[in-house]
Amino acid sequence: MRLTLLVALFVVVVPLHAQGLVGGVAVDSATGMRLACVDVTLEDTTGRVVARQQTATDGVFQFDAPAHGAYRYRFDVWHHRPVVGPVEMLEPASERARMYQLAFVNDPQQKLKLWPDTADSPPGPPREPSKARIPYPKELYQKGIEGTVTVQYAVDSVGVVYGPSIRVISATDPRFEPAVIAYLQDVKLAPPRRAGRPACALVMNQPFNFSIKP
């Protein structure tokens, strides 16, 4: 009886091997802004995918620590070249979180993918046709002023633009900016998809053109 009790106590007090967590925060290298809805893949050095997910609205991503070995993170957004992080040695007990400064560049050789695709699609057109056009600022229209506003924003899995993610990259005239921002805050788009399921997506360097010509 005493031997049985001692064995039972021994089993209870032995600690289990803890599962570690690895990940970090995706940040725009130019502005320091945290990037929501970036696709993050954990790969080994042969390119084999171990796990994948998307950054949260605060740019955070996290994976269970993998088997002992060398790994790297790959960061992707629609129509831009991927950013590959440095090789890191990880193991099941690893606890590691880092900030990853990312600079995405347009990929002119990447085939432009439009919504809807069979399985993977960027955000689509507005669900309500009446909201498909941005109202032209009256003052600029009357003066015949044309222009372009280029923006960055994140769209969630139901097609709503996440307000704090909206950032104006450039504008030929700042008076166009309020119209674009108001449009993005109000519009509901066909949601992005990954592997056939609704997903969030980061849209970078999208131009909105204002033209007097019909």
pLDDT digits (tens, 9 = 90+) for 165-174: 999 999 999 9
Give the 3-state DSSP-derived string for 30-68, with helices as H, strands as E and coil as C.
CCCCECCCCEEEEEECCCCEEEEEECCCCCEEEEECCCC
pLDDT score, position 18:
65
Kind plus residue range of the DSSP H or E element containing 158: none
112: confidence class by pLDDT, cuts 50, 70, 90: confident
How much is the average pLDDT of 87-98? Answer: 95
Do both 143 and 185 map to the same domain?
yes
* Domain total in the chain: 2
Task: Confirm whether 203 is domain-assigned.
Answer: yes
> With 0-12 CB in 10 A as exposed, 13-18 as middle and 19+ as buried, what is 59?
buried
Task: Confirm whether 3 is domain-assigned.
Answer: no
Give the global pTM: 0.86
The domain containing residue 43 runs over which residues? 21-102
Kind plus residue range of the DSSP H or E element containing 97: strand 95-102
